[in-house]
């Protein structure tokens, strides 16, 4: 686990995630073209009752699942000759 301190909406907080998840969150922020703090702030804004660490993990998982669906759909089109 790697714990990082952040400032979100003017409040200091810390989040503990596995290094692999921090890497994935940073990659997602880069893909979106925003800074890591901006990306995390957006997730924090829409996370509801879920704690921030869980919201970050779920975001990473959802992005991976969406990518896999897109790849599977592309494979299905290619196989059908479309």
Please say whether the beta carbons of 25 and 17 come within 8 A.
yes
* Residue pLDDT, tens place only, 39-66: 999 999 999 899 999 999 999 999 999 9
Task: Please give the pLDDT value at position 68.
Answer: 83
Task: Please give the pLDDT value at position 20.
Answer: 96
Return mean pLDDT, the chain.
90
Cα-based distances in Å from 56 to 7, 35, 76:
15, 15, 30
CATH topology of domain 2-79: Ribbon-helix-helix fold (1.10.3990)
Task: Please give the pLDDT value at position 82.
Answer: 63
- The answer to whether residue 11 scores a pLDDT higher than 70 is yes
Domains in the chain: boundaries: 2-79
pTM, whole model, 2 decimals?
A: 0.82
């Amino acid at each position: 686990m790697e714990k990082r301190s952040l400032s979100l909406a003017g409040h200091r907080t810390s989040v503990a995630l596995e290094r692999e998840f921090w890497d994935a969150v940073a990659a997602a922020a880069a893909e979106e073209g925003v800074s890591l703090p901006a990306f995390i702030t957006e997730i924090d804004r829409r996370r509801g009752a879920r704690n921030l660490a869980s919201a970050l993990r779920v975001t990473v998982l959802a992005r991976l699942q969406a990518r896999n669906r897109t790849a599977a759909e592309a494979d299905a089109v290619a196989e059908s000759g479309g």
